[in-house]
Structure 1
Amino acid sequence: MPTTPTGPWPRVEATLNPDGTSQVVIGGTSHTLSAPSIADARNQVISLVAHHAAQLGRPLYALTRDPTGTWPIIISPNGDVAPDPERRPSAETSAGDSSAHEAGRSSPEGPGPVGGLSPEAPAPADRDARTAPDETAWTDQPVSQDPGPADMPAEARAWQAADEDTPAPLPNHGETRERRSFLKATEIEQPATQGWRGRASRLGVRMSPSPAERSERSDVHAVSQHWPGPRTIAVVNGKGGAGKTPATVLLSAVFARHGGAGVVAWDANQTRGTLGWRTDQGPHEATVLDLLPQAERLLGTGAQSADLAHYVHHQTGDRYDVLRSQPLQLAADQRVTPRDVDLIWSVVGKYYRLVVIDTGNDESDPVWLQVMEHADQIVVPTTTRADHAEAGALLLDALRGRDDRSRRLAENAVAVVTQADPRASRSDINAVINGYSDLARKVVTIPHDPAIVDGVLRWDSLRPTTQRAWLHAAAAVAGGL
């Protein structure tokens, strides 16, 4: 049972609606909640207020309103609920209409404040006998009509006047002081594992990590996150050869290796997409064309995640899956429609937490445009070649002028500049970086690596400096998710 709160506390008010929505104001900060029913809404409000009470280390007064009335209660840090001993509830009924109030008490949803707690007010016949004269304002008037300070008990005056930043006046019950919690959030940094600091740590001399190692740990933490609901990354550039497929492969590998799988790379290029050529083939030759006829079944309640293995190609070393196109067929023989894109996305969004899409070169293609409708983040890869860089820049300009959603995607874009040509000079690289710095949220550079140029792309085949660069690129992408 909650005890009476002491010390400064934030004002808490909660309004619960019949449709299960609720508005909770804690110390001036408003929280909007949604639940299937008003009973579930009460539980949500209890959890939210109890969380704040736990942070403060004391119970909190709460004034709750629902269709049955206004209820002053106290919610403790562990979620216990009790009526406020200083105030009485008021039923939202007209004078003399006690039947409506009684009907509310038998409602299946349960009357009263959050959690179904209904502080029992005395019956009208004997209320005067039980109530002291100075409590008349609290028993005869609805709580929603704010009583004057002179009529309010000391505890209630403190509650009503309280502000999140300004301590409320305390009742004169003796000297009080704020207790410090025994629990402290302490994070012990892992000792260095790299370089001479790491060698010293392994010999028993605990060394803190270098700034470079701390930066790498920060990037690993960023790409290891799991977001609520699936996230979609579209890799886009209107020029072929700009590096869309390598970017799709390596970003998928980073997120899967560090985030615990749940990543799929989807080739949405209708004109001989080469994602299947740059990745390992599974024990079958299935493509997106084989998945489409089974989409409705895979979206059904009887489907299982393992069923998808018939249509995707698992990358055993890098832990992500590939949904291939069919590059051996003419584009006219494997056309998909915007509706097909929606179906495919619904399937992969059901089974994967992260979807990385390798797109085609035609920005006017309805399929390309529909992919953009599902994108949460776009990545614009380019090399140091002027035509590749210009094509990506023109794409971002076009997105900015299309609509609000496309504009936000462009402003949040990540540009990945790969030194595909080992002879590219530092001035060539800087020119592309500087050009994209005003177009994208983040610009990341990737050094030249022969393993990226041709053949199947595997993470372990990259040089350490290339791996570090792609990890940083993926962390930049994660920042937009």
Structure 2
Amino acid sequence: MTTATHPRTYATVTGPHATFVTLDGHAEPVTATGDEDIRLAVIRRATDEARRTGAPVELVTAGDRGEHHLLVHPAGDLSFVPPAAARDDDDAGDVEGDEDLDLGPYLELNDTSVSNDGEEVREQTPQPAHSPLSQAPAAEPPDRPSFLSPTTTTALRPTGWRGFLVDLGIRVRPSAAELRRAQQRASVSRQWAGCRTIAVANGKGGVGKTMTTAMLAAVYAREGGGSVLAWDNNDTRGTLGWRTEQGLYDTTIRDLLPAAPRLLAPTTGVSEISRFVHQQVTDRYDVLRSNPELLATDQRITATEFDVLMQVAARFYRMVIFDSGNDESAERWLRMIDNSYQLVIPTLATAESAESAALLLDALRGRDQRSAALADRAVVIVTQSEPAGATAARRIADGFDGHVRAVQIIPFDPAMKAGPLRFDTLHARTRDAWLSVAASAAEGL
């Protein structure tokens, strides 16, 4: 048996439509722009995966033009993966030698052809003998200046007394804090290719998972322009819907599940998802609710059902943040971990909730390689639940330092204790703390 030497992505191409499966197992639709060939859009999406990992990835395509195995490099170059190296013996099927594979439709899109031994050869697309392009090349035209100026990032404007001086016409440099906030806003407003997912998890209840989910969703949506979903992935009385605004329809995840095939249809409009989620008007994200009035036995989600819901979420949103339950053995909890790019673990400044967070990290490191990587790259949030708890919060944070990628402290804020979760109701220093948490999590996406 021969094993592929590069990580694999998959694409199914049927006519003008395609579905792309990322290295992490996310299935997402691929859409061509204008008159673009859908195969070029697939190659561009695979190139994004290669750039994200910094190494070539194998693209396995199937559909109306047969099955192909291409090696996609971070620079966008393509090379042929011979059948013997591309497939295990047990799934080679009826595919014969490389001379029978029609790679032309893909390679022509990249001006690349491949020799029989798999070596990549860059060449021009052949032209007819009578074509003017086949004659001697004309002299290069002289360079001319562009009439367009490059777009730059909006200049940072100082605030507070510095902003007052700027209004008077006095030039003042932004403070270190303002520069730091500007960098964090640039990080959280980034638009990634494909849907990004964050799991908020801790096996103990009452440690701030729902609060963390809502605040992260608010930061990413407000700074990045919306298209963020907060998903209450909870079998046991998830309360995200209680602490956020209700939309026009009283719907939950159980209503979305049977509608998933229709929502995944190519002709479905983007606004159709609004019937099943709840818009947060000021904070600009949507909430997919569970039903806290039902027992866990009445609203369990299987792994297969979760995967279908994830396809819907990836179709309509650029980012999904999971508010998880306390049952770490539930199928939906495990599939959440399998489908997440980043793990965020909230804890209060108490020994019990911190120990629960540490045990979760230990369990993930022993589960599998991918879960261990999530644990190593996790962001731990220590929330100061009482006004006088700063020392305890720092002690807990120091205990996690060096065991995860980042540790952040959220100061005490009465607006987070109970009632609706809205970003504008927080103190300025609390908003800055959540912006810092979101920027730390964005580094893992």
Same fold (TM over 0.5): yes
Q: Of the two, which has the highest radius of gyration?
A: 1
Mapped to 2, the partners of 1:408 and 1:72 lie a distance apart of 37
Give how far 1:244 is off.
0.2
**RMSD between superposed Cα atoms in Å:** 3.2
Give how far 1:186 is off.
10
Q: What is the TM-score when the length of structure 1 is the normalising length?
A: 0.66
Mapped to 1, the partners of 2:170 and 2:72 lie a distance apart of 54
Conservation of the 8 A alpha-carbon contact between 2:158 and 2:173: no
Mapped to 2, the partners of 1:71 and 1:327 lie a distance apart of 57
Paired position in structure 2 for 1:152: none
What per-residue deviation string (whole Å, max 9, x for no partner) do you get for residues 285-340 of structure 1? 10001111111111111222111111100001111000000001111222221111
What per-residue deviation string (whole Å, max 9, x for no partner) do you get for residues 15-61 of structure 1? xxx95847889xxx995468994354244258xxxxxxxxxxxxxxx
Paired position in structure 1 for 2:16: none
Q: 2:425 aligns with which of 441, 457, 461?
A: 461
Paired position in structure 2 for 1:219: 184
Q: 1:404 aligns with which of 369, 372, 381?
A: 369
1:429 maps onto 2:439 in alignment? no
Q: 2:379 aligns with which of 414, 419, 422?
A: 414
Conservation of the 8 A alpha-carbon contact between 2:390 and 2:411: no
Conservation of the 8 A alpha-carbon contact between 2:78 and 2:110: no
Give how far 1:223 is off.
0.4
Mapped to 2, the partners of 1:273 and 1:19 lie a distance apart of 44
Q: 1:358 aligns with which of 323, 336, 341?
A: 323
Give how far 1:421 is off.
1.8
Paired position in structure 2 for 1:172: none
Mapped to 1, the partners of 2:416 and 2:312 lie a distance apart of 30
Paired position in structure 1 for 2:402: 438
* AA at the equivalent of 1:461: T
What per-residue deviation string (whole Å, max 9, x for no partner) do you get for residues 324-377 of structure 1? 000011112222211111111111111100000000011122221111111111
Conservation of the 8 A alpha-carbon contact between 1:33 and 1:44: no
Mapped to 2, the partners of 1:361 and 1:386 lie a distance apart of 18
Q: 1:447 aligns with which of 393, 400, 411?
A: 411
Give how far 1:440 is off.
1.3
Conservation of the 8 A alpha-carbon contact between 2:79 and 2:120: no
1:330 maps onto 2:295 in alignment? yes
Give how far 1:116 is off.
3.1
1:44 maps onto 2:8 in alignment? no
Give how far 1:72 is off.
9.4
Paired position in structure 1 for 2:204: 239
The sequence identity of aligned pairs, in percent, is 42
Change (3 A) 1:213 1:34: farther
Give how far 1:194 is off.
1.4
What per-residue deviation string (whole Å, max 9, x for no partner) do you get for residues 155-175 of structure 1? xxxxxxxxxxxxxxxxxxxxx
Could you tell which deviates more after superposition, 220-229 or 438-447? 438-447
Mapped to 2, the partners of 1:464 and 1:245 lie a distance apart of 21
Change (3 A) 1:32 1:435: farther
Mapped to 2, the partners of 1:24 and 1:325 lie a distance apart of 41
1:388 maps onto 2:353 in alignment? yes
Mapped to 2, the partners of 1:286 and 1:24 lie a distance apart of 44
* AA at the equivalent of 1:215: R
Mapped to 2, the partners of 1:119 and 1:22 lie a distance apart of 32
Mapped to 2, the partners of 1:244 and 1:465 lie a distance apart of 20
1:190 maps onto 2:155 in alignment? yes
Give how far 1:114 is off.
2.9
Q: 1:313 aligns with which of 271, 278, 294?
A: 278
Give how far 1:416 is off.
0.9
Give how far 1:463 is off.
0.7
Conservation of the 8 A alpha-carbon contact between 1:287 and 1:323: yes
Q: What is the TM-score when the length of structure 2 is the normalising length?
A: 0.71
Paired position in structure 2 for 1:478: 442
Change (3 A) 1:72 1:40: closer
Give how far 1:196 is off.
2.6
What per-residue deviation string (whole Å, max 9, x for no partner) do you get for residues 362-420 of structure 1? 11222211111111111000110111111011101110111100011101111111101
Conservation of the 8 A alpha-carbon contact between 2:111 and 2:124: yes
Mapped to 2, the partners of 1:189 and 1:292 lie a distance apart of 42
Give how far 1:430 is off.
1.8
1:293 maps onto 2:293 in alignment? no
Conservation of the 8 A alpha-carbon contact between 1:192 and 1:207: no
Change (3 A) 1:314 1:334: same
Give how far 1:181 is off.
12
* AA at the equivalent of 2:444: G
* AA at the equivalent of 1:115: T
Mapped to 2, the partners of 1:419 and 1:391 lie a distance apart of 17
- Extract unaligned runs of 5+ from structure 2: 1-66, 82-101, 131-142
Q: 1:200 aligns with which of 140, 152, 165?
A: 165
* AA at the equivalent of 2:395: A
Alignment of 1:6-25 (within 5 A): 21=70
Paired position in structure 1 for 2:126: 116
Q: Report the secondary structure of 1:417's partner residue.
A: strand
* AA at the equivalent of 1:287: T
What per-residue deviation string (whole Å, max 9, x for no partner) do you get for residues 174-213 of structure 1? xxxxxx9989989688254213322222211222211111
Paired position in structure 1 for 2:304: 339
Conservation of the 8 A alpha-carbon contact between 1:400 and 1:406: yes
Paired position in structure 2 for 1:251: 216
Mapped to 1, the partners of 2:366 and 2:125 lie a distance apart of 50
Change (3 A) 1:464 1:333: same
Change (3 A) 1:300 1:189: closer
Mapped to 2, the partners of 1:348 and 1:308 lie a distance apart of 9
Mapped to 2, the partners of 1:71 and 1:395 lie a distance apart of 46
Mapped to 1, the partners of 2:373 and 2:321 lie a distance apart of 19
Conservation of the 8 A alpha-carbon contact between 1:312 and 1:321: yes
* AA at the equivalent of 1:366: E
Mapped to 1, the partners of 2:162 and 2:172 lie a distance apart of 6
- Extract unaligned runs of 5+ from structure 1: 1-17, 47-63, 74-112, 121-179
